[in-house]
Amino acid sequence: MEIKGKTVIITGATGKLASQIVLSMAKAGANCICIYNSNTEKAKKLQTSLKKLKVKSLFISADLTAEETIEKVFAEIKKFSKPQILINAASIFEKKPIENVTFEYIRQTFDINFAASMIITQKFVKLVRKKIKSKQKPLAKIINITDITALRPPAGFSIYCASKAALVSATKSLAKELAPDFTANAVSPGIVSWPKSISAEQKKKMLSLVPAGRAGSPDEVADAVKFLIENDYITGQVIDVDGGRGL
């Protein structure tokens, strides 16, 4: 699928990684529907960047843990354009040892990292099937941003890793269920950005597990997303952009 002229939905759009994916899509000529939570300052800066790239954009602030809010988001999307690309990138990441895990924490993590992606995908599929009429397949693309920790879970992140593993499994199931009208794939980043609290010694230890010997960049992850959009024969796959960490 050619990206230029298409409309793409990106959730979590103001995040460090997702914002670079937004810019990558815009540079390729896509109009962008950016869904974000509360970082209005970052949203305004991103919107200014998209204007300079001369693509259309729609920015929607929304709590994606409420289904009625997602309904309102799609009501706005319908007025804007006919999206053919969905990138589920909204996520929360937090270390939580098992002794500190609560029902509320589990629900919140799964609501954002998994449930929201599934409900948004549901609404997206329904919209595409209603609005896009073409004999050429696929009609649309679904890309979920997962995490290499779904495959190699570190200690202290059991709930986060489980939520990303659920998204990986759902991606493969959706690829079968929605074919040939949709492709469904995932991009699984490794180390792309560092938490502010991490020490130099901790960085060194983590990088020792990466054959490439360095952290990746958001642009490298965005390139993998572009590749999956442009290739119409790949579906049900997870591309690890992790420098070999998952080996």
CB 186 within 8 A of CB 146: yes
Residue 123, phi then psi, degrees to nearest 5: -65, -40
Give, to the nearest 10 degrees, the angle between helix 16-27 and helix 218-230: 50
What residues form DSSP beta bridges with 9? 33, 86
Give, to the nearest 10 degrees, the angle between helix 158-178 and helix 103-110: 40
- Per-residue tokens: 85: 């690309």
Catalytic residue among 36, 105, 160, 233: 160
Residue 160 annotated in active site: yes
CB 127 within 8 A of CB 84: no
Q: How many CA atoms lie within 13 A of 176 on its CB side?
A: 4
Residues with catalytic function: 160
